């Protein structure tokens, strides 16, 4: 596998509203635990939509892993221009710092948000360009934004064996348990 698509919760769906939340380090540990074996096997690109939450944490982790895996590159493909412009100043700064640090940043549409077609076009492109997916989603917790990409990935898996790797809340809790804490 050369290109891995990262899909998961937005921060607010996890009740995380800033970068100081105690659960973020455990989510990052779970990401690294899934990425490291793939990087060992030759993973080259981590592809994300750059949404505030799991996408950006995965970019951050992959960027940190480049010292051990120099072939690893990171990418944000946003659906439209300036997706962060309505976020808080703290979130905008965080996004812009990550966007500067990735190896590729692009947008599907150079316009501001005009409709759901931009999101569909981005998702189509990310699915087409990826060889597999790392999904942070727990259906037992209720529906959330990753459900659409999960459905599409499952359809592709049926068609051509597209691999889907998962991270669940239990995986994150295991990381927290090793530190003797709760991640919520």
For residue 55, what is the domain's CATH number?
A: 3.40.50.450
Q: Is residue 100 part of a domain?
A: yes
Domains identified in the chain, total number: 1
SS3 at position 107: strand
Note the pLDDT tens digit of each residue in 53-101: 999 999 999 999 999 999 999 999 999 999 999 999 999 999 999 999 9
The pLDDT of residue 184: 63
One-character DSSP codes across 159-171: HH---EEEE-HHH
Alpha-carbon distances of 135 from 10, 55, 179, rounded to whole Å: 12, 10, 24
Q: Is residue 47 part of a domain?
A: yes
* Residues 66 and 32 sit within 8 Å (Cβ to Cβ): no
Q: Is residue 184 part of a domain?
A: no
Q: Is residue 111 part of a domain?
A: yes
Q: How many CB atoms sit inside 10 A of residue 115's CB? A: 11
Domain span at residue 115?
3-178
Give the residue-averaged pLDDT of 103-124: 96
Note the pLDDT tens digit of each residue in 67-80: 999 999 999 999 99
Task: Give the model's confidence band at 140: pLDDT under 50 very low, under 70 low, under 90 confident, else very high.
Answer: confident
The pLDDT of residue 139: 80
Q: Is residue 183 part of a domain?
A: no
Q: Is residue 73 part of a domain?
A: yes
Q: Is residue 48 part of a domain?
A: yes
Look at residue 169 and tell me whether its pLDDT is greater than 70.
Answer: yes
Look at residue 183 and tell me whether its pLDDT is greater than 70.
Answer: no
* The pairing of beta strand 45-48 with beta strand 164-167: unpaired
Cα–Cα distance for residue pair 8/167, rounded to 1 Å? 9
Tell me the angle at which helices 54-65 and 24-40 cross, rounded to the nearest 10 degrees: 50
Q: Is residue 101 part of a domain?
A: yes
Q: In sequence order, which residues have a C-beta less than 8 Å from that of residue 93 and are 6 or more positions away?
A: none
């Amino acid at each position: 596998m050369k290109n891995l698509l990262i899909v998961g919760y937005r921060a607010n769906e996890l009740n995380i509203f800033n970068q100081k939340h105690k659960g973020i380090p455990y989510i990052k540990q779970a990401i690294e635990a899934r990425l490291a074996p793939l990087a060992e096997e030759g993973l080259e690109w981590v592809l994300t939509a750059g949404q505030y939450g799991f996408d950006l944490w995965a970019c951050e982790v992959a960027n940190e892993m480049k010292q051990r895996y120099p072939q690893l590159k990171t990418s944000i493909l946003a659906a439209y221009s300036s997706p962060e412009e309505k976020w808080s100043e703290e979130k905008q700064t965080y996004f812009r710092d990550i966007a500067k640090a990735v190896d590729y940043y692009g947008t599907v549409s150079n316009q501001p948000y005009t409709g759901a077609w931009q999101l569909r076009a981005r998702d189509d492109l990310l699915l087409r360009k990826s060889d597999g997916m790392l999904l942070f989603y727990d259906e037992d917790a209720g529906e959330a934004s990753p459900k659409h990409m999960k459905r599409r990935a499952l359809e592709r898996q049926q068609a051509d064996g597209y691999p889907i790797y998962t991270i669940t809340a239990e995986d994150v809790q295991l990381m927290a348990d090793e530190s003797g804490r709760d991640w919520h």
